[in-house]
Amino acid sequence: MTAPLTHQPRIAVYPGSFDPVTLGHLDIIERAAKQFDRVIVAVLNNLSKKPLFTVEERKELMKETTAHLPNVEIDSFRDLLVNYMDQKQAHVIVRGIRTVTDFEYELQMASTNQKLNPRIETIFMMTNPKYSYLSSSMVKEIARFRGSVVDLVTPEVDAAMRSKYSEMTE
Ligand code: ADP
């Protein structure tokens, strides 16, 4: 009798600031969810960016945005990404690429993570051309001046930005 095949679950981590999550991010998450058994979206505090939303708020918005995807979970951590990956027994980092500028930065990060832990692979997913121009900063800029972000984020994210910016102007 042959032993049953044991299948090591394929776990990917999609790290980012997600301040806030856009439909461009969601597109990457939906596509990654088809390729891996589990996708952990890790919401991070990027010290070089001044966030609009707290990590907790960003996690909450991300949970609402990905609620229809059963193999996607939302987390955050304060450690080196490669250490977190070990802890979660994840082997793959997912990142999205929109432009050549993204590529240069991403290549540097992927090479650094490769050096820190050769077991870990970074996989890049090309943006859906529909969202190639879309970034969290652009969405915030539009929302700040009361422009419409209807096709760029979920209604929950739209509402959260409106209430943030109206609090700020009170
Ligand atoms: P970070 O601060 O890590 O760059 P972001 O939230 O800006 O965090 O982006 C997280 C990841 O999502 C990055 O890999 C980024 O290139 C990717 N990304 C952002 N916007 C889009 C988009 N419109 N299409 C595809 N990938 C995207």
CB-CB contact of 60 with 28 (8 Å): no
* The predicted structure's pLDDT at residue 168: 82
Decide whether any atom of ligand 1 lies within 6 Å of the 46 Cβ: yes
Structural contact between residues 11 and 17, judged by C-beta atoms closer than 8 angstroms: no
Predicted confidence (pLDDT) per residue in 14-29, tens digit: 999 999 999 999 999 9
pLDDT for 157: 97
Are the C-beta atoms of residues 93 and 120 closer than 8 Å to each other?
A: yes
Structure-token pair, residue 77: 């951590």
Q: Enter the tokens of residue 57.
A: 């708020």
Residues 66-93 have pLDDT tens digits of 999 999 999 999 999 999 999 999 999 9
Does residue 129 or residue 47 have the better pLDDT? 129
Residue nearest to atom 22 of ligand 1 (CA): 24
Among the options 17, 58, 59, 136, which is catalytic?
A: 136
Q: Where are the domains of the chain?
A: 11-169
Residue 24 CA to ligand 1 centre (angstroms): 8
Residue 25: CB atoms within 10 A of its CB come to: 24
**pTM for this one?**
0.94
Residue 81 and residue 93 in contact, taking contact as beta carbons nearer than 8 Å: yes
pLDDT digits (tens, 9 = 90+) for 111-141: 999 999 999 999 999 999 999 999 999 999 9
Residue 170 has pLDDT above 90, yes or no: no
For residue 16, the CA-to-ligand 1 centroid distance in Å is 7
Fold of 11-169: Rossmann fold (3.40.50)
User: Mean per-residue pLDDT for 142-146?
Assistant: 94
pLDDT exceeds cutoff 60 at 1: no
Whole-angstrom Cα distance, residue 121 to residue 91? 6
